[in-house]
Each structure stands twice: as C-alpha cells, then as structure tokens.
Copies of this chain bind each other. A is one copy, B any other.
Amino acid sequence: MHALIIAAHGSRRQASNQEVHGVAERLARLAGARYPICRAGFLELAEPSIAQAIRQAAAEGATQVSVVPYLLAAGRHVIEDIPAALAEAQAELPDLEIRLSGHIGQSPRLLEVLLDCAEQCQTA
C-alpha cells in the first residue's frame, strides 16, 4: 500500500496547521486508491513530525511512502531537514520504501495554479 506524506513547515497558528491537514484530507479524496493514505507531517511547531507521519503510515500498512515537501523555496528545510527526517524514519523502518520528491515550488504545474488564481481574482 502506498502512502503520500505532505512535508510542511508547521506554524504557531493552529489554523495554518489545520489548513495543511485539510489539504491532506482533500488530497486523499482526490488520490483514491492510488494513495490510500495521505497525511501531513511537520518540520516544527506542529504535530505529527514528518518521521511520526511516516511511522503512522507504516503502522497502517503502507509499504511505500512518497514524501512531497510542501514548501515554495529550496531552503535549508528542503535541502537538509526533510532528508534528515526521512533518514531517521528509514533507519527505524528499513523495509519501508521511502521516496522524496522535489518541493512544490519547483513544479512547472505551480505556474498553472498561479494563473488560475489570477483569473479567479479577475472575476471576483
């Protein structure tokens, strides 16, 4: 079974963390059988941590986990902290297949999201 973990920064504002959990819930509905488990993990200031989210997915039966950094710029979090969290989880769960994608800020499809948002404010 394949899990998708959104690796987010985490905020002191619980509403912001809840917004990220809401994205993971909508993502689960969209992904359906492709990713039966979709969950958020946080670098700091919120729970669960990224490693905790991976452990939880494994406990629920995930054999593969894809981690997508929910960050817009390739800063230290993307370059160092998220890979370190994955290494921590992999060391605990050697049989789990854990893979990491590029951060969403590098996705060409993010440009379509920006244009879509701009068009919506035109008709607002």
Contacts and interface: CB of A to CB of B under 8 A. Distances in A.
Interface in A91-111: 99-105, 107-111
A57 B4 CA distance: 40
Contacts of A15: 73-75
Interface residues of A, number: 49
B20 A111 contact: no
Contacts of A27: 111, 114-115
A11 B72 CA distance: 11
Nearest to A124: B99
Given A31-B115, A114-B68, A115-B31, A102 B120 contact: yes
Interface in A29-84: 30-31, 34-35, 66-68, 70-76
